[in-house]
Structure 1
């Protein structure tokens, strides 16, 4: 936290940049041969992985010692995102890493997490205390927008549809060896952390500066990057970051979800939503998406409750409309498939109930490493 007399770093101006480019942060768990978390023993492995990372991406550590974050370069489209992540994952596997994409490790014990030391992480560990109980892994998508005014419009369009991104990416029904009863349990952990919340309404760029400034001041944190709304502007990068999605083992699904973020953001700028979803709707929709996944019924902007699959199909159609003329809509076919096939939480439950937890862990690791 900031010390007496120390002022937070200023929020950067929005940079000029490419429109509706993509970048991804791919958080993955590091596991052993039995597919359990490595804990503190991951530290030398992670140091080696970071030192030998390919030039077309970044390999970073996370606050949990047995978690790695892969960052793509700026990409023009979703297929480029998937190629970049495929190369990064492949490089790590070649170096001996066992990777697992799961929002929460299904069988990790509570309260045994090993933490990484760094100035930033030491600040967070001191603030969070015992809340850092088990790693969570997300699939975070950045979409570039040209200016601050467009950022507010893209933020509104994505915020109004966060529940569908949550449900499409839901894949963490188990925690601590038990069925949580949820399609996506990761938010139940993240929401215990300060400043990790659903995003507020932003009516203008000045409104963003005011709200994030108040959050920085109230929490006495060094800068705006410590304010981790689940959808947030990233002024330094010139992007809007979607943070509600679980880690994904399938690179095809990675591409589909990234394309949907790109299409929804572009559609929101070119044909803006007239209103912001009320906070009460947003919170209830998100819980229903966490609880029921794609089977949820959610409140639309007109106050009518609709099947989430119907809301998602409408969003996909809008994304196709704006991405299609530039040849960028092909990856959206994967999202259409997600809306019709067995949801990932159901698939995991069937596997665990039929063959046991060990089989589920092995399946998640194999799929993440391209062997499933």
Structure 2
């Protein structure tokens, strides 16, 4: 069975106003866990699971991390929320984490760094070696827009509804190397093209390759970065399972001919529609080249990964969770519902988001 690990990023906020607050150092000091890390901005905090074999391990680890971070924040009169974007912001630039890499990024793109108030969920799946990772990466490309739709949890920006399910995807898309990765002929091709980006000055280092899926430079894994951080741990658990099953399916397909290779403009359009509509409407199927209901595309995904889910024992958990997302809505839908229930008051939404961190 393929092992996996999950990283989640959270926002630190003022519980009264909902505004991001630079409280990483204080909150981190109160968390007794080695896998808590700084992010680009001091208003963010990242946690990571250990290497996991089962989705139950993923859920347990994320639940413990969320509770620990929330408890530390509460003791310091701060809030912590799992939202793909900061729902409330006054435009004031949050302080960056003082690391040379982050300082250089702010020199290169000050406005983008100032507005990087976004939080994702990254799923790492173990790979035997880089050549295999490239072949799997090629096969994941058509599925990445649907993962964005399933994981949408960032509808608000500066207190306003953007109309998008994943505004984080739009914000992240402003960096030079983002979106759906191109297809690669081999690991050597992958490395050569990243080296070319570096030589040309497009990126300062390989960490600035922000594709929705990439080969990790730190671990022997394929890293899928298409998902917003999830409102609830149960959704994070299920989506991590779907990603692992996609990777496992791609491994089994390796000798079955060329993978589907939709035109880049269709993949780009599919990604935009996924970030815009989430599961709330029709999406672009980049393989068929047509509009289709989100529910039909989720069914295609479950049919595609069904054997892998059966092999890992996740054949009940993942399908039931994805069906639940179709019926009760993604995190973006639930944020909108909470905002409406609070009569449009951002403070009510922040209270709801904060409560979710403790209700896992």
Structure 2 CA distance for aligned equivalents of residues 191 and 325 of structure 1: 35
Contact 1:160 1:277 survives alignment (8 Å): yes
Greater CA drift, 256-265 or 149-158: 149-158
Structure 1 CA distance for aligned equivalents of residues 87 and 312 of structure 2: 40
**Structure 1 gap segments, 5+ residues each:** 1-18
Contact 1:104 1:136 survives alignment (8 Å): yes
Contact 1:26 1:139 survives alignment (8 Å): yes
User: Does 1:290 pair with 2:275?
Assistant: yes
Q: Which residue of 2 aligns with 1:276?
A: 261
Contact 1:259 1:329 survives alignment (8 Å): no
Residue 108 (structure 1) shift: 1.2
Q: 1:23 to 1:94 in 2, by over 3 A?
A: same
Secondary structure, aligned partner of 1:161: helix
Residue 222 (structure 1) shift: 5.0
Contact 2:19 2:90 survives alignment (8 Å): no
In angstroms, what is the RMSD of aligned CA positions?
Answer: 2.0
Contact 2:153 2:228 survives alignment (8 Å): yes
Q: 1:116 to 1:206 in 2, by over 3 A?
A: same
Greater CA drift, 203-212 or 69-78: 203-212
Residue 138 (structure 1) shift: 0.6
Q: 1:208 to 1:89 in 2, by over 3 A?
A: same
Contact 1:216 1:227 survives alignment (8 Å): no
TM-score if structure 1 supplies the norm length? 0.87
Secondary structure, aligned partner of 2:210: coil
User: Does 1:64 pair with 2:41?
Assistant: yes
Q: Which residue of 2 aligns with 1:262?
A: 244
Greater CA drift, 307-316 or 342-351: 342-351
- Deviation digits for residues 123-163 of structure 1, max 9, x if unmatched? 11111112223311111111112122321232123211011
Deviating beyond 6 angstroms after TM superposition, the runs of 4 or more aligned structure 1 residues are none
Structure 1 CA distance for aligned equivalents of residues 70 and 155 of structure 2: 26
Secondary structure, aligned partner of 2:41: coil
Greater CA drift, 148-157 or 246-255: 148-157
Q: Which residue of 2 aligns with 1:106?
A: 87
Q: Which residue of 1 aligns with 2:358?
A: 369
User: Does 1:339 pair with 2:326?
Assistant: yes
Residue 184 (structure 1) shift: 1.2
Q: Which residue of 2 aligns with 1:163?
A: 145
Structure 1 CA distance for aligned equivalents of residues 172 and 329 of structure 2: 26
Aligned pairs, number: 348
Contact 1:300 1:306 survives alignment (8 Å): no
Q: Which residue of 1 aligns with 2:338?
A: 351
Structure 2 CA distance for aligned equivalents of residues 299 and 163 of structure 1: 9
Q: Which residue of 2 aligns with 1:54?
A: 33
User: Does 1:179 pair with 2:125?
Assistant: no
- Deviation digits for residues 292-348 of structure 1, max 9, x if unmatched? 111232124133432232122221223231131332334302122212323432332
